[in-house]
Structure 1
Amino acid sequence: MPNKPESNTCDEIIFSSFFKSQIKALRNFLFYKFGDMQKAEDAAQEAFLKLWQNCSSVPLEKAKSYVYTIAKNSSLNEIAHQKVVLKYENDFTGLDKTNQTPEYILEEKQFQNKLLKAIENLNEKQRVAFLMHRIDGKKYSEIAEDLNISVKAVEKRIHLALLRLRKEIDL
């Protein structure tokens, strides 16, 4: 009977290595998708916990897809609440202690709010691909692999996101 220790997700060393290589990308993916870093971290941790609990039935080759699916599905129940939280985070104005003129600060804040609102108005697929590319610096092929879509689909999503952002910001 051939034994495959290389693909054994239940091996602590292999699992730990997989965890360390994937946790940041999964957390960022969830943050971009749902807008709350704490909940993104919680969902990512929960996904890896479920992977560990089901490690005997999930081969290492499918573990990445498994944790992304688990994390995404567990977070979908809170989208409405997270939109409210994100809105309040975007509306929060802390004390700004810079040497900039009040007009400049106001214009900068208005532009930032306009940009955040425009990104928020993108559909979910465009927003996720756009933020993974622009914030994480991921290549189109990496995004395609993470989202289980083709590179052409990633290109189209980012292109449409840029067109929509330009249109909304130029108004």
Structure 2
Amino acid sequence: MNIELAYNNYRNELIKYSERIVYHREVAEDICQESYIVLLFEAQKQHIKSPRSYLFKVARNFAYDYLRHKKIVENYSQLFDTSVFELPSAEQLATNDQYADIIRQVIEELPERRRMAFILHKINGFSYAEIAQTLAISESGVEKHLMKANAYCRQRLNERLA
């Protein structure tokens, strides 16, 4: 069967098929045209036994490529939503500064070794082993200091922020 004749015979069916996948008429028409172009190029290289099957296979691949691309674009547009990057207001900054001051004050209330263990772990990201070596205490001692520091800070922050 002639390639042009195959395209003309199956064009409407191919568009409907593509539209059922992508849910967009204009995109389905573009997919149909792209499929025809691929069929033309491939027909020059090799004999295609069933142009209809080939057209539908190519159209299906284009449709799925379109959907994958659309999903990627949607994901990236959500990632870079400008509302996420809005600067905080002066009021929010003042409130954040107040919270930071309260947290600093509560941490300062901790006994020295407990405060050091807490700061090394929470702020500097030290492991228990690194803190133990720095403070010359056992890892279980570090664990006890951190448990007590966390409990104390939680209690004091609840009191101060309530």
Q: Mark yes or no: TM-score above 0.5.
A: no
Structure 2 length normalisation: TM-score? 0.42
Q: TM-score, normalised by structure 1?
A: 0.40
Q: Tell me which of the two structures has the higher relative contact order, counting C-alpha pairs closer than 8 angstroms and 6 or more residues apart.
A: 1
Where is the helix percentage greater, Structure 1 or Structure 2?
Answer: 2
